[in-house]
Amino acid sequence: MALFPFSRKSEFFSADEKKQIVAAIQEAELTTSGEVRVFIESRCRFVDPLDRAAELFWQLKMDYTQDHNAVLVYVAVRDHQFAVFADQGIHQKVGDEFWNKEVQAMKRHFKENHYADAVIQVVKDVGIALQHHFPFNKDTDKNELPDDIIFGD
């Protein structure tokens, strides 16, 4: 029996789970000027998943948001590696302890085989932090980054 029953990376989540994750991203961004993206791949190309998340963050040009308040949730499925990488604006507000707590929460969910729940919960928690530090302003805020899930190799 395979640890993950899906043969293709983009099929790691069911269609309904993908919709739930995208909905969580959109809901999190309703009350903040911050941006959240989710990147899923099979294996982490780096020893440290935070380094891989940083590389992806810059490749996706997430550092170009107006308030430097974008956050990338990174998951390497087969390696069970996780990272949350944030731009300087939000990182300065919440610090390493917040991000480390979110990664530990993802690990607990994954151990219980609740993969989509892991991602959704982190997205919600990040949304709350962003809302607190970067509240939505209907006159100036816009969706600066796509809300879809990104699937890598």
In Å, the largest CA–CA distance within the chain is 53
**Measured CA angle at 41 (ends 81, 121), to 5 deg:** 60
Q: What is the pLDDT of residue 85?
A: 97
Task: Go through the chain and tell me how many residues it has.
Answer: 153
In this prediction, residue 10 carries a pLDDT of: 55
Please name the amino acid found at residue 135.
P
Every domain of the chain and the residues it spans: 13-151
What is the structure's pLDDT at 98? 97
The tokens describing 36, both together, are 């959240």
Question: For the chain (length 153 residues), average pLDDT per consecutive 10?
Answer: 42 90 97 96 90 97 96 92 96 96 92 92 97 92 94 88
Domain 13-151 carries which CATH code? Answer: 3.10.310.50
The pLDDT assigned to 102 comes to: 95
* Contact criterion met (CB below 8 Å) for 9 and 153: yes
Compute the distance between CA of residue 19 and CA of residue 48 in angstroms, rounded to an integer.
Answer: 29
Give the full edge-to-edge strand order of the sheet including 70-76: 81-86, 70-76, 35-41, 149-151
